[in-house]
Structure 1
Amino acid sequence: MLVIDGLTCQFGSKTAVSDVNLEIGQGAFIGVIGRSGAGKSTLLRMINRLQDPTGGRILFEGRDVTGLRGQDLRLWRARAAMIFQQFNLVGRLDVLTNVLMGRLAEMPAWRALTKSWSADDKAMALSALEQFDIANLAAQRADSLSGGQQQRVAIARAMVQAPRLILADEPIASLDPRNTKVVMDALLRINKHFGITVLCNLHSLELARTYCDRLVGMAGGKVVFDGVPSQLTPAVAHDLYGLEAGEVMDLEIPAASGAHAPAALPATAAPSHH
């Protein structure tokens, strides 16, 4: 269980995330939606502790991870694995080595510095590549791969971290439709097959409605919608995206039944599930 309690992040006078409260059960696939600048990336980066919050707490299975330091923080970042829009691979290194880097948090410092991978680590990395049908690319340089292949390598690297949580920040933003499906299917398989919780920032509402079992909508750093995909009506989309709503949502898809379709919640009424 991941509990986000009053989480806030300020950059100078700008508030990027404001008093976010969420409870996320193990095994959920959550889509975080909203316009660019809504606070989605900052929220995921705070959960992983790449960005320190200026207020609030992050609890995982009852443990406060907000103040972790040193080795405890490194292990938390392994358990809350990040997948980035730009893949974050080392292009000149081969695919297998890029995946093995997901094991660094578990290794003694001397072994990490010399990259002396154990046989078990190599077997785990190859197994992860096989799961995403790219074991045949293990010896290739990462920068020789297509975008979709690179993102699958990044997901395999996340998997060898033995994560409890996958935080995917716009993982398909730079991919074509075919590779978008391949990558989203890979995330869904991780979620359903291994029961790993996935929080995925997405710009496309149609992808969010297709893959996610719950959607969290952000605007101006606040949670303004929290519900199942069927509750995401055109009216809610307009509240989240304004004039961009038509670009991110196929409005011909039937919305939830008229009279009972919920309007977007004001920030103060967004459910915190406390």
Structure 2
Amino acid sequence: MLAIKGVSRRFGGKTAVADVNLEIAPGAFIGVIGRSGAGKSTLLRMLNRLVDPSEGTISFDGVDVTALRGQALRDWRARCAMIFQQFNLIGRLDVLTNVLMGRLNKVSTASAVLQLWGLEDKAMALAALEQFDIANLAGQRADSLSGGQQQRVAIARALVQEPSIILADEPIASLDPRNTKVVMDALLRINKHFGITVICNLHSLDLARGYCDRLIGMSAGRVVFDGAPAALTADAARDLYGLEAGEVMDADADVKWAGQARPASAAA
């Protein structure tokens, strides 16, 4: 269980996240929604400890994450993997090596610097790439791939960390509709097949309703909605997004899935 209690974060005189209290059960697929600047990214970065809370505590299975330091903190960041909007791959390195970077916490510093990866690590990285149908790209430079392929490489890198939680910060923001579906399907597969908790910041309500089993809506740093996708009515969305509601709501959502297999959660 991931427990967030009274968590706030201030940057100077600005409060980015204010008094958030949440409990997230193992194996959930959570969508965090809200306007730009609502505090979604700051919340995820606090869970991974890329940003420290100004107040409150974050705990996982009874361990106070906010108190971790040194190796214990590095272990937590491996266990709570992060996927970014801009992929964060090393473009000049091949795909397999980029995925192996997810194993850095499992090997010695010397082995990592000299890229002396073990056979087991390489097998795990190739298996992760195979999960997302890109094992054939293992030898290509990362910067030669399309945006959707690069994001799948980033997801494979997160998977080989052997995480309990994957945090995805607007993972499809820079992708076209086809690659958006490919990446969201990949996250859903990780969630359902491996039972890994996924917490994903999303701007599109259509995607959030289609893939997530619980939505957390944020506004001005506060949680203003927490419930099942079906409970997020048009009126609730307008309260959450205000004038932006029309941009993120898609009344013809079913059209997007015409001729395609809808994700399991979308069909529910």
- TM-score range (shorter-chain normalised) is over 0.9
1:16 alignment counterpart = 16
- Determine helix, strand or coil for the equivalent of 2:130: helix
Are residues 1:77 and 2:61 paired? no
CA-CA distance at 1:189 after TM superposition: 0.4
Between the aligned partners of 1:130 and 1:71, the Cα distance in structure 2 is: 31
2:196 alignment counterpart = 196
**1:132-151: per-residue Cα shift (whole Å, max 9, x none)?**
00000000000000000000
**1:112-134: per-residue Cα shift (whole Å, max 9, x none)?**
22221111100000000000000
- Determine helix, strand or coil for the equivalent of 2:67: coil
Between the aligned partners of 1:121 and 1:146, the Cα distance in structure 2 is: 25
CA-CA distance at 1:76 after TM superposition: 0.5
2:39 alignment counterpart = 39
1:259 alignment counterpart = none
CA-CA distance at 1:210 after TM superposition: 0.1
AA at the equivalent of 2:107 = M
1:205 alignment counterpart = 205
253 and 160 in structure 1: CA distance in 2 versus 1, 3 angstrom threshold: closer
Q: Percent identity at matched positions?
A: 76
Q: Give aligned pairs, total.
A: 254
Q: Does the Cα contact within 8 Å between 1:234 and 1:251 map onto a contact in 2? A: no
- Determine helix, strand or coil for the equivalent of 2:32: strand
Are residues 1:115 and 2:115 paired? yes
Between the aligned partners of 1:94 and 1:220, the Cα distance in structure 2 is: 41
1:268 alignment counterpart = none
- Determine helix, strand or coil for the equivalent of 1:66: helix
CA-CA distance at 1:252 after TM superposition: 6.0
Between the aligned partners of 1:86 and 1:250, the Cα distance in structure 2 is: 25
Alignment of 1:77-226 (within 5 A): 77-226=77-226
Between the aligned partners of 1:115 and 1:166, the Cα distance in structure 2 is: 25
1:257 alignment counterpart = none
CA-CA distance at 1:235 after TM superposition: 1.0
Q: Does the Cα contact within 8 Å between 1:6 and 1:57 map onto a contact in 2? A: yes
2:264 alignment counterpart = none
**TM-score normalised by the chain length of structure 1:** 0.91
Between the aligned partners of 1:168 and 1:69, the Cα distance in structure 2 is: 23
CA-CA distance at 1:111 after TM superposition: 1.6
Between the aligned partners of 1:142 and 1:227, the Cα distance in structure 2 is: 38
The runs of at least 4 consecutive aligned structure 1 residues that moved more than 3 Å come to: 251-254
RMSD: 1.1
